[in-house]
């Protein structure tokens, strides 16, 4: 009985460690600016929206939000389409040197993203894509891991169903759209959610490839805000931070089991 | 499902065979064409933005270029010679190794402990597991910003927690002794839930019979942990080890927001150096050299992983 009590205390302690910083963010974002700089700190805010209007005055957060949304939606759509089409081809179609080509796709996983920064910046600059959505989106839409996950999943589907579709005279694209994808919904959602989270959180690439306020994304905007406002504006900065976190936190709460499913699939079966 | 009766073709004459051969060839060509069409966009992007950068880096690393001059100057292996003998680079490498080592050890130990906690029959464990995992999917820049405020020596949460014990809070991010440990704390807070989740999935997949048999034979909880569970979890530990090393080597957003490689060079890791050389000092040759060095290190790590995983699959 005593052991159980200790276990519960530890469990609550763990919850506090992980929730504490998030509560600190939330409460600060809604505190009166003066309340933030009182000591000892107030644990409960006198609710106000003031920090948000201050944040909006300090930086074009609506524009950052729009940019982040555009690159997340477009980037995710293009990457997932790439993954699905490539995976379908590798799972269902014949082609000479198919195996080598598959290794060429998977091999991209061996290339660390951070190592590609400088050459990709130069490539994008050559293409005239600095400060453009193309420059922000296109370099990231190649897909190795998502292709791998989708293909492995396609291979587990019963061949009778696709064969039947072929006998019924359905072409490959029709089979993919009408038969294979509907049977792959959970894996598809997993890939979409994981990709969207990555796109939204992407930091170093948007930092490098944009230099005008109107093309910044939320995470980069946050860095600029923090550097400019410094210690003077923790309320403003926390309001901006909440704006970056809230959408992903919401998606996480809704699609939690798909995120967890995809991550453990990569670790335990991959 | 429709059942189709294929017409019986008992004795096809030569002409028919030739015709159907033609048809087969046409169908195959169409299949090849479709394959190429479906795979080409992905392969093109991968070639341009994943493979070409390695070749480009290898070339740039042999040059001196400020990214303004029309073309790079060829300098041979000078960048490598200079980098490998530079005490600054040695320090950077050491900081990267310490940073990575602390995070790997912390992730594995705390992750495993959390997994055991979440595996106990406690009410609310599922919710706490979710809470612990949530930071993993949050923006690193945003998480770093929260922690920059927590570490604020004037009004941060850390001061509120430390002061009641009569201790003076350090100025974490501006103190060269505390900046790196501070980053490690943030990184662990953000990512330890991932290790816990993977370990938990592993724990739940373990065969129960062995553990139960050992329990009946009177083995203590500690013995069962050390001699049964830990060895069975070895492949998962190995997976986490490799992925954490690869991830930590490339850690950037938390460092950029919290310390910018400083104070001085106290948190200048290899990943920060690449950014600093390339995009702040505009020294393409040296940034490319550092990139190639990182690529080689991580390629070795990944290859070892592939080898070990392969062996594991074989004796299964």
What pLDDT, on the 0 to 100 scale, is given for residue B312? Answer: 63
Which residue matches tokens 């000591």? A39
What pLDDT, on the 0 to 100 scale, is given for residue B315? Answer: 39
- The answer, for B182 touching chain A at a CB cutoff of 8 Å, is no
Confidence check: pLDDT of B220 > 50:
yes
Which residues of chain B does A7 touch, with a Cβ-Cβ cutoff of 8 Å? Answer: 117, 120, 122
Which residue matches tokens 């705390």? B110
Cis peptide before B81 (omega within 30 of 0): no
What pLDDT, on the 0 to 100 scale, is given for residue B196? Answer: 96
Confidence check: pLDDT of B49 > 50:
yes
Mean of pLDDT over chain B: 89
Q: B92 lies in which domain range?
A: 87-311
- The answer, for B116 touching chain A at a CB cutoff of 8 Å, is no
Nearest to A218 by CA among A71, A118, A73: A71
> What tokens were used for A7?
């276990």
pLDDT digits (tens, 9 = 90+) for A161-191: 888 888 887 788 888 898 899 999 989 999 9
Distance from the Cα of A54 to chain B's closest Cα (Å) equals 17
Confidence check: pLDDT of B306 > 90:
no
CA distance A38 to B163: 15
- ipTM of predicted complex: 0.91
Could you tell me where in chain A the CATH 1.10.3720.10 domains are found? Answer: 56-268
Q: Do B124 and A11 touch (CB under 8 A)?
A: yes
Q: Tell me, yes or no, whether B142 lies in a domain.
A: yes
Choose the mutation target among B146, B241, B243 for the interface with A, i.e. most A CBs under 10 Å: B146
Residue segments in chain A with a per-residue pLDDT below the cut of 70: 1, 230-232, 265-270
CA distance A127 to A131: 11
* pLDDT tier, B316 (very low <50, low <70, confident <90, very high otherwise): very low
* pLDDT tier, B11 (very low <50, low <70, confident <90, very high otherwise): low
Which has more confidence, B98 or B152?
B98
Which residues of chain A does B258 touch, with a Cβ-Cβ cutoff of 8 Å? Answer: none
What pLDDT, on the 0 to 100 scale, is given for residue B15? Answer: 72
Query: What is the domain count for chain B?
Result: 1
CB A8, CB B122: distance < 8 Å? yes
CATH of residue B303's domain is 1.10.3720.10
What pLDDT, on the 0 to 100 scale, is given for residue A267? Answer: 62
Confidence check: pLDDT of B226 > 90:
no
Q: In the CATH scheme, what is the homologous superfamily, with its name and number, of domain A56-268?
A: MetI-like (1.10.3720.10)
């Amino acid at each position: 009985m005593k052991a159980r009590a200790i276990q519960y205390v530890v469990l609550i302690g763990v919850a506090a460690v992980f929730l504490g910083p998030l509560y600190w963010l939330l409460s600060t974002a809604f505190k009166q600016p003066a309340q933030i700089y009182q000591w000892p700190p107030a644990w409960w805010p006198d609710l106000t929206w003031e920090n948000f209007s201050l944040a909006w005055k300090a930086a074009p957060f609506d524009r950052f939000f729009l940019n982040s949304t555009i690159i997340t939606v477009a980037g995710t759509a293009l990457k997932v389409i790439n993954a699905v089409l490539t995976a379908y081809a590798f799972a269902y179609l014949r082609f000479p040197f198919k195996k080598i080509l598959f290794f060429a796709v998977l091999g991209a996983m061996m290339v660390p993203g951070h190592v590609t920064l400088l050459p990709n910046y130069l490539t994008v600059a050559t293409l005239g894509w600095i400060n453009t959505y193309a420059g922000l989106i296109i370099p990231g839409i190649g897909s190795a891991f998502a292709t791998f996950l989708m293909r492995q999943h396609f291979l587990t589907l019963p061949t009778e169903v696709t064969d039947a579709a072929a006998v019924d005279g359905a072409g490959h694209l029709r089979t993919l759209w009408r038969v294979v994808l509907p049977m792959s919904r959970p894996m598809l959602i997993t890939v979409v959610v994981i990709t969207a989270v990555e796109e939204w959180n992407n930091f170093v690439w948007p930092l490098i490839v944009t230099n005008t306020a109107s093309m910044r994304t939320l995470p980069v905007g946050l860095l600029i805000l923090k550097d400019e406002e410094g210690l003077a504006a923790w309320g403003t900065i926390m309001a901006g931070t909440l704006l970056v976190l809230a959408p992903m936190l919401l998606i996480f709460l809704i699609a939690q089991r798909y995120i967890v499913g995809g991550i453990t699939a990569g670790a335990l079966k991959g | 499902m429709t059942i189709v009766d294929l017409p019986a073709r008992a004795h096809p004459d030569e002409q028919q065979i030739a015709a159907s051969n033609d048809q087969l060839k046409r169908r195959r060509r169409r299949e090849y064409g479709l394959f190429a069409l479906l795979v080409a966009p992905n392969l093109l992007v991968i070639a341009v933005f994943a493979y070409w950068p390695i070749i480009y880096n290898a070339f740039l690393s042999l040059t001196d270029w400020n990214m303004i001059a029309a073309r790079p100057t060829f300098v041979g292996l000078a960048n490598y010679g200079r980098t490998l003998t530079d005490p600054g680079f040695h320090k950077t490498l050491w900081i990267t190794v310490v940073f990575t080592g602390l995070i790997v050890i912390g992730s594995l130990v705390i992750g495993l402990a959390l997994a055991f906690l979440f595996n106990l029959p406690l009410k609310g464990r599922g919710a706490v597991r979710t809470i612990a995992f949530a930071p993993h999917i949050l923006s690193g820049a945003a998480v770093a910003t929260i922690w920059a405020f927590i570490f604020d020596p004037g009004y941060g949460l850390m001061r509120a927690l430390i002061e009641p014990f009569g201790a003076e809070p350090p100025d974490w991010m501006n103190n060269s002794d505390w900046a790196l440990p501070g980053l490690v704390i943030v990184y662990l807070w953000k990512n330890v839930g991932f290790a816990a989740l993977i370990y938990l999935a592993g724990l739940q997949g373990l065969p129960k019979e062995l553990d139960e048999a050992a329990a009946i034979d009177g083995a203590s909880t500690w013995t069962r942990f050390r001699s049964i569970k830990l060895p069975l979890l070895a492949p998962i530990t190995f997976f986490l080890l490799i992925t954490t090393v690869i991830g930590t080597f490339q850690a950037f957003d938390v460092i950029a927001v919290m310390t910018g490689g400083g104070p001085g060079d106290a948190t200048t890791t290899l990943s920060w150096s690449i950014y600093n050389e390339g995009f702040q000092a505009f020294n393409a040759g040296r940034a490319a050299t550092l990139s190639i060095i990182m690529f080689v290190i991580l390629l070795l790590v990944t290859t070892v992983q592939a080898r070990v995983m392969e062996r594991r699959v074989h004796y299964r």
